[in-house]
Amino acid sequence: MHILLVEDEKKVASFIQRGLEAEHYTIDVAYDGETGLTQVFDGDYDLLILDVMLPKRDGLSVLQEVRRHKLNLPVLLLTARDTVADKVAGLDRGADDYLTKPFAFEELLARVRALLRRGAPMPAPVLTLTNLHLDLVTRQVTRAGKRIDLTAKEFALLEFFLRHPGRVLSRTLIAQHVWGVDFDTFTNVIDVYVNYLRKKIDTDFEPKLLHTVRGAGYVLKVPEI
């Protein structure tokens, strides 16, 4: 496992480096943001440990640049500033975890281990039921390889069904989760939308997936033969 540490405080850097080397990790160290950024792109690292306060280029800006090119590289931010705003800024820019200085080496090690375990490529976030696929990132829906265009509400409704396949969802539950409303007079709207959705995902395809359960609600499932 190959780790890059970007940290300008020599003492902290060597403390982390020696500790991680004792755990048989291979560590490279950069002492400013610019050098760190160059090294990220030159090397093949499994993890980046990045200080926020750095000379030449600060950690958050390094992180932003890293994320534009290396989506899957796990990043652990080291921050001396224990404010909520800094943590949020770091996580917003794509940090996977952060550690506030001063920290115990054991805590750093635990987080490094967790991030390296997580570093395996994430499966694409696609919800699937038989030949129906909904991609949460590209927001594309296909059935049997054919693209299906949905409105934002239809998409949200289908996503809700696909997250609960085989489960009967009442109109009240759908109203709460998809529309964020909580009254029964809304149920007609849901019936209308379910029909729109059914036309788009079921009419031209087999098997039919979206079923009405009389008196109870709707269920998305592959019918039993």
- Give the residue among 164, 162, 139 at the shortest CA–CA distance from 150: 139
Q: Which residue is nearest to Ca ion (CB)?
A: 53
Q: Rounded to whole angstroms, how far apart are CA atoms 182 and 170?
A: 12
Nearer to Ca ion by C-beta: 51 or 96?
A: 51
Residue 53 binds Ca ion, judged by CB under 5 A: yes
Residue 99 binds Ca ion, judged by CB under 5 A: no
Q: Measured from the CB of residue 53, what is the shortest distance to Ca ion in angstroms?
A: 4
Q: Rounded to whole angstroms, how far apart are CA atoms 126 and 141?
A: 9
Residue matched to tokens 């396949």: 165
Residue 114 binds Ca ion, judged by CB under 5 A: no
What is the footprint of Ca ion within residues 23-52 (CB under 5 A)?
Answer: 51
How many residues bind Ca ion (CB under 5 A)? The answer is 3
Residue 96 binds Ca ion, judged by CB under 5 A: no
Residue 12 binds Ca ion, judged by CB under 5 A: no
Q: Rounded to whole angstroms, how far apart are CA atoms 45 and 6?
A: 13
For 45-183, where are the alpha helices, taking DSSP H only? 59-69, 84-92, 105-118, 152-163, 171-174
Residue 116 binds Ca ion, judged by CB under 5 A: no
Q: Measured from the CB of residue 137, what is the shortest distance to Ca ion in angstroms?
A: 34
Nearer to Ca ion by C-beta: 53 or 156?
A: 53
Query: What's the helix, strand, coil split of the chain in %, to 5?
Result: 45, 20, 35
Q: Measured from the CB of residue 9, what is the shortest distance to Ca ion in angstroms?
A: 5
Q: Give me the residues that bind Ca ion (CB under 5 A), please.
A: 8, 51, 53
